[in-house]
Amino acid sequence: MIRQATKYDAPKIIEMLWHYHDSGNIEGLDVPDESTAVKILTYILAGAGIAFVSEKNNELTGMLLAFKTPFMWDNSKFIMNEIAYWVEPEHRGSTAGYRLLSEYVKYCDELKEQGSITSYTMSQMNGQELNYSRFGFKPIETTWSN
């Protein structure tokens, strides 16, 4: 099942964010604690974005977090930016990741129709072989880190 996260999901989401961090996909980040992640998640849950979770047998199995930001060239317009997409390793190969992404696309398409956002994004870490084009995404840039 996919649903919007609530404040009661925050501890498990933070735990999954640590799994995401520790997976090795985030290079060069020495993170002493989760205080910033907790703050950002609080903003998202308060309406500054969206948090979806996948659930099986009342256990969270994955998450997709996105933050709504002003469009750089016109601050009256907004873009939804995915900032974390994770499915716990033991639940990969199920439909959790596909269903999380499908719900995100559906939600953002509704926001576009309402005029609340102009577009929405997905990111992909190096080494991943995810094909977002089947959801209508197209590559627009590559981000480099030093």
Instruction: Indicate the pairing of strand 59-71 with strand 49-56.
Output: antiparallel
Tens digit of pLDDT for each residue in 16-64? 998 888 876 565 566 678 888 899 999 999 999 999 999 999 999 999 9
* SS3 per-residue string spanning 51-98: EEEEEECCEEEEEEEEEEEEECCEEEEEEEEEEEEEECHHHCCCCHHH
Q: How far apart are CA 72 and CA 77, in angstroms?
A: 9
Reported confidence tier of residue 146, pLDDT bands at 50, 70, 90: very low
pLDDT at residue 28 in the model: 57
Three-state secondary-structure class, residue 119: strand
Tens digit of pLDDT for each residue in 83-135? 999 999 999 888 998 999 999 999 999 999 999 999 998 876 555 566 667 66
Give Cα 144 to chain centroid, integer Å. Answer: 19
